[in-house]
Amino acid sequence: MLERTTQIKNRFLQFKDWEDRYKELIVLGRALADYPEDKRDEKYKVKGCQSQVWLYPEFKNGKVYFHGDSDAVLVKGIVGLLVSVYSDATPDEILATKPDFLKEVGITEHLSMNRSNGLQAMMKQIQMYAAVYKSLQKVQ
């Protein structure tokens, strides 16, 4: 996971101003795989986001895979960023990887209060899914 966060930092820190980083977020959002239409319901909707955000997890072979989408371009980019870091990781890796890299690349400081709250809600959802899958592993 350290390698992924380092890649994200390198990707965004190459840009000096926020506008270029904003454009890079949009690129990440556009790169998201198509979100499954049958998962576009309240069960997978992230509560606390101003925009509509869906985050659907799959658990296969000890790893969590996230699928995400949003109806807002910037937010979809943030979803893409989070999916690129936290998907295809074990629950322990997800829980151990704090979102400090978001501050380091200047994303959190340029978000409105509502967008910041939404980002926190997305992170909380990702960590909650990881915690649930971790506890289910112990049961099996």
Sequence-separated contacts (24+) of 87-92 with Cβ below 8 Å = 88/63, 88/64, 89/1, 89/63, 89/64, 90/62, 90/63, 90/64, 91/64, 91/130, 91/131, 91/133, 91/134, 91/137, 92/130, 92/134
Per-residue pLDDT tens digits for 24-39: 999 999 999 999 999 9
pLDDT > 70: percent of the chain: 98
Per-residue pLDDT tens digits for 53-87: 999 999 999 999 999 999 999 999 999 999 999 99
Residues with catalytic roles? 49
- Report the top-level CATH class of 2-139: alpha beta
Average pLDDT rounded to a whole number, residues 36-52: 92
**Token code pair at residue 76:** 């979809």
Cα–Cα dist 36/33, whole Å: 9
Q: What is the pLDDT of residue 44?
A: 96
Q: Considering the entire predicted model, what is its pTM?
A: 0.92
